[in-house]
Amino acid sequence: MSSTTLRRLIVISLIVLWELLPRAGFIPELFLPSLSSTIAAGWNDAGEYGHALAVTLYEVGISMVFACGGGILAGAIVGSLPRPRVLIMPMISSIYAVPLVILYPVFTVWLGIGSESKIAFAAIYGFLPTMLSTAAGIQTIDPQLVLAARSMGATLSQRLVRVIVPAAIPTVLSGLRVGGALVIVGVVVSEMLISSAGIGYLISRYRTILDSAHVFAGVLLVLAMAIAFNAAIKWIERKASIWQTGSRAGQRAADDITAAAVQPAT
């Protein structure tokens, strides 16, 4: 049996177990409501969940623009210039070790409990790995490729557009993957902490009234969001960098960063 088939079987059996175990009474409905009652709860209040999803998606979207756009820009600058790299990289790496969620209450003081504070928090949260990854991607570009381009008469801008950017794409994309995932985490977590809208807020509110089915309906939505995001990144990766299979250097650097980046959100 291929590993893909096996993976699918595992997912399907988990889904089946989610339905059967609570139904059979092995797990109390309070801890884990069955899949069907979870979906039913979500469906019955589709309007409420739809509105919450819209709020969350809006916040995620704006945060991603800031986190990914800003991260790539800052990473490109820091990665290509030695001086800022020496100054900034150690600081960024140290900040990375701090659980940024401790700053969230401060953000609500500055920006209120609406979307602005979530966007600010999630953007900063996703910005760091994207920036670090892009900087690493630029640094790991084989200088020999740039030299070869120069020997063929490439001008500075031609070297940038035709060599440095395509060579950096794989590492930048894996930075986006981590950064984007953290943006989703940042938005949902901040909604759960202090807010008045969004999926995180719904999960948190239904939890206080012990309505497990509605809590899990929210969890399902977040799950779907994360899976959709991951699929989108994979699609872009396939489109933009088929050459990854050939050069693993950049990929390795990205993996190192990814490993360092995964930290508990709260």
Partner 1 sequence: MQPLANVTPLKPAPRAGSIQIRDVGQIFKTPTQDVEALSNVSLEVKPGRFVVLVGPSGCGKSTLLMMMAGLRQQTSGTILINDAPIPQPDPDRVGVVFQEPSLFPWLTAEENVEFPLALRGVAKSERRGKAEDALKLVGLEGFGKRHPHELSGGMKQRVSIARGMVQDPPVLLMDEPFAALDEQTRMTMGDELLRIWAATGKTVVFVTHSLTEAVYLADEVVVMSARPGRIVDHLTISLPRPRTYDMLSGETFGTLRDRIWRHIRKSA
The site for partner 1 (CB under 8 A) is made up of 142, 144-145, 147-155, 158, 162-163, 166-167, 169, 241-243, 245-247
For residues 80-95, one letter each, b for 16 or more C-beta atoms within 10 angstroms of the residue's C-beta and e for the rest, the string is beeeebeebbeebeee
Nearer to partner 1, 160 or 226 (CB): 160
SS3 211: coil
Distance CA 155, CA 146 (A): 11
Distance CA 163, CA 197 (A): 45
Residues 6+ apart with CB under 8 A from 218: 42, 49, 52, 199, 200, 202, 203, 206
* Shortest spacing between CB 178 and partner 1, in angstroms: 22
* Shortest spacing between CB 163 and partner 1, in angstroms: 7
Nearer to partner 1, 142 or 255 (CB): 142
* Shortest spacing between CB 237 and partner 1, in angstroms: 13
Nearer to partner 1, 93 or 158 (CB): 158
* Shortest spacing between CB 240 and partner 1, in angstroms: 9
Residue in 157, 165, 166, 138 with CA at minimum distance from that of residue 254 = 138
Rg (CA), the chain: 22
Nearer to partner 1, 158 or 196 (CB): 158
* Shortest spacing between CB 251 and partner 1, in angstroms: 11
Nearer to partner 1, 56 or 134 (CB): 134
Which tokens hold the place of 257? 């960063």
Residue in 223, 213, 218, 222 with CA at minimum distance from that of residue 34 = 213
